[in-house]
A and B are shown apart, each in its own frame.
Chain A
Amino acid sequence: MITLDPAMLNRVVKPARYTGNEWNSIKKDHDTVSVTVALSLPDVYEVGMSNLGLKILYQILNNREDTAAERVYAPWVDMEAEMRERNIPLYTLESLKPVREFDIVGFSLQYEMSYSNVLNMLDLAGIPLFTAERDEHMPIIIGGGPCTFNAEPVADFFDCLVLGEGEEVMEDIIAAVSSWKKTGKVNGRSGILKSLAQIGGVYVPSLYDVTYHENGMVAEVLPNCPEAPLVVTKRVVKDLNKVEYATRPIVPFLDIVHDRIMLELFRGCTRGCRFCQAGVLYRPVRERRPELLLKMAKEMVDSTGYNEISLTSLSSADYSCLPDLVDSLMGELKEQGVSVSLPSLRIDSFSIDLAQKVQQVRKSGLTFAPEAGSQRMRDVINKGVTQKNLEDAVSAAFQAGWSTVKLYFMMGLPTETDEDVLGIADLAYKVLDLYKEIKGRRGAKVTVSVSCFVPKPHTPFQWFGQDLANEFERKQQLLKARLRDRSITFNWHDARTSFLEGAFARGDRRLGQVLLKAWQNGARFDGWSEYFKYDVWMDAFKTCEIDPYFYATRHRDFDEVMPWDHLSSGASKQFLQREYEQAVTEELTCDCRREHCSACGVCPGLGVEVLDWGSRA
């Protein structure tokens, strides 16, 4: 057990990030279990603690008598300095034991910009960074989360990466590690890696060799041993009604990003937005039953004492039984002072009615994501929202008493012209006009947030070359000049951060060196603008003689081998290509949830099906 000096904790910001003991946290005697797991998200406590996947795994793993699951997050820069000065290794919040003594360390990889923190945490833990340098006494380093679908840039640092949903596969992994330990770690490190490679959804990167063409493109990614499958396909839970949920989540002392009950209505979203990676990775749509959700909600209020329930899903308003569910939640929990909130709103008046119902009195701003300014552009990305949908939704919101609207957009989408970009401004002004029409006076506030589009693997736009940073900046200025009204606030993303994200999102294994170099030169918390060191990254690319533009801004041909072609979401490359082609011709694809199947390949390929209670009723 690590002892933490008062001097250290007295000096750092928010020391409660590092001292644990929260309600519902679970402490087990390590001598009574056969496998210990440190669950992590490589970011600060408040971010890591908000991740739903980790909450679920914490409960599932701790439900097992043979397993102790604990937590560790990235110490903030002040704490890191204190720890390094005092030689305090990275430790978990439950037992205050060094992470290095655990059997498994699992990192949730939610965004590429957290990769430098993974290296930093391994280093702080005293764990060798490269999988090749670790022997059987070191923990097995596992990655999960959306980034694993192309975690090639971090492939050299991880022992294995888990594709898809973790509920079932983590249990398989625990079983494998437990029996390997019982046999005295037979065949050492390579013994366990080879047995993990045989579990569906588990990718062991060291069991694959990558070869490259002279022009730098990937030639082949092939297994180097019989245990490793040619293609690793994601795991998917067939029926969410049958798996454990995080009904006893840890209640932190300090405010975290999502400090409320998260009630996951369903998984998957098949609206088919062509830029969206989550929409492909989490197919198909699988809903939980409303009765089960109500029961879970009550259990969670009792187990946490939270007084707010957030209905979380990729697009919660699409839940088939939403109005009934909201009514019963509010009806049964009102007595206890519990409120219900919807994190995302669909752009229609149905959503406004709901928002009105749940937020009865509080008229804080409403957020919509039209994603693109012009109808043409929205058709390209298959965002099935029309100008009229938007006008109806905003009008309904104003009529219901709201006056603040936030609009989210992207720029740099395929086929985008300046006219499309300026369409964003037109939309913002249209919203102001609607308010005036309805209320007979000015007074609406509109916030326009525009991010820089980053093409992601496993999406129809995976072949598309990202805009150059200066092109993004030009478009930002163009828009800024048009958005001069005092009622409009314009926010935009840093183009250089998006460029780096773009390189890593579609990177290959060679980027591991760049990551290592950048981390050595001080890169960490890259997702936090105040710590993002663009120059350090560009120097690292230069030192390694690797061209970031090759990864970020280059258009690929359809027949190019992608660094992630051996990692499958279940959606076929043909489907993605078809979608790209339809994007260019501005053709729409329907939602398979309630309309016909668009043959992405997931359901037949993985033996799963859409579960939507509304469509069956």
Chain B
Amino acid sequence: MAKLRLEITKGEEIRYISHLDYASAMERAIIRAKLPVAYSEGFNPHMKISFASALAVGVTSQAEYIDIECKEEIDVNQAVEHLKASLPVGIRIKGAAYMQGNVPALMAIVNLAAYEITVPLLAEDIGIIEDSIRWFNGAEAVLYTRESPKGKKEIEIKQYMAKPITLTALEKAVRLILEIRITPTGSIKPGEVLGALVAMFDLPVDIDNLLIHRTGLYISNANRQVSPVEL
């Protein structure tokens, strides 16, 4: 058994597919590429692949990670070449490495996600935007109500913010840069942070037209911050 870890993207072309769709697209690409992937035993064998973190519908990413459990260790470059030829547009391979030894699951180790949110401005004055972000960054705690089919739940956002939000002004739009902690007890979605900014901090943006892009997933501790393929 060998565990092949890939760094892959989810591009603009497939922004609106769900995480499940993305996973099955990878599964089918792996079959087309004829990688020697392993399957689980039992009634309904499934391919042994796993992802670091689910990506929502409408979100793109330049840093997704997948572990592919292989029955044999074929040459990395060869595996990447075969897979490249089999990937749909919108998925590119940026890095690949076999993980040595008994490595923990991606899900269990990734604890930080970085995002860019690009959203059209509803105000001319960038100063208003800066004020609103400064206000949010300075707040002790921000309570956000998450509504789902299961009901309402109050969440404190700031505990998940790894860094203050920074911003870049674009033409008629603004780009926010967020770093969000992923913890065993939960996390917050970038869209929810924007929702809080609009609802509670008067951020004058056209939230319906937001575009979210994940720029990184990391394993972060006091000393260093590395991506899962840099381990």
Contact = CB atoms under 8 A, between A and B. Distances in A.
Given A22-B88, A305-B31, A7 B209 contact: yes
A76 to B, nearest CB: 14
A336 B30 CA distance: 11
A305 B58 contact: no
B14 A362 contact: no
Contacts, number: 79
Contacts of A130: none
A161 to B, nearest CB: 35
Given A5-B209, A304-B32, A15 B86 contact: no
B58 A6 contact: yes
A326 interface: no
B28 A304 contact: yes
The interface centre, meaning the residue of B13, B17, B44, B211 with most chain A CB atoms within 10 A of its CB, is B17
A16 B209 contact: no
Interface residues of B, number: 33
Nearest to A24: B88
Interface string B206-220: 101111000000000
A1 to B, nearest CB: 14
Contact of A336 (B25, B31, B86, B89): B31
A305 B44 contact: no
Given A6-B210, A6-B211, A23-B25, A302 B32 contact: yes
A304 B17 CA distance: 18
A362 B44 CA distance: 8
Interface residues of A, number: 28
A276 B16 CA distance: 41
Interface string A325-350: 00000000000110000000000000
B18 interface: yes
Contacts of A15: 16, 57-58
A278 B208 CA distance: 48
B45 A305 contact: no
A513 interface: no
B74 to A, nearest CB: 16
A21 B58 contact: no
A336 B33 CA distance: 11
B208 A337 contact: no
B135 interface: no
A253 B39 contact: no
Nearest to B44: A362
Interface in B24-60: 24-25, 27-32, 34, 39, 43-45, 47, 57-58
Contacts of A303: 32
B86 A305 contact: yes
A184 B28 CA distance: 46
A9 interface: yes
Given A21-B14, A23-B88, A305 B21 contact: no
A21 B21 contact: no
A253 B31 contact: no
Contacts of B58: 6, 9-10, 15
Contact of B208 (A11, A23, A253): A11
A8 B210 CA distance: 11
Interface string B59-96: 00000000000000000000000000010111000000
Given A16-B21, A336-B34, 6 more contacts: A6-B58, A6-B208, A15-B16, A16-B16, A21-B90, A305-B29
27 contacts: A6-B58, A6-B208, A9-B16, A10-B208, A11-B208, A15-B58, A16-B21, A18-B16, A19-B13, A19-B15, A19-B16, A21-B13, A21-B14, A22-B88, A23-B28, A23-B88, A251-B28, A251-B88, A253-B24, A255-B21, A302-B32, A306-B28, A337-B39, A337-B47, A361-B43, A362-B43, A362-B44
Interface of B: 13-18, 21-22, 24-25, 27-32, 34, 39, 43-45, 47, 57-58, 86, 88-90, 206, 208-211
Interface of A: 5-7, 9-11, 15-16, 18-19, 21-23, 251, 253-255, 301-307, 336-337, 361-362
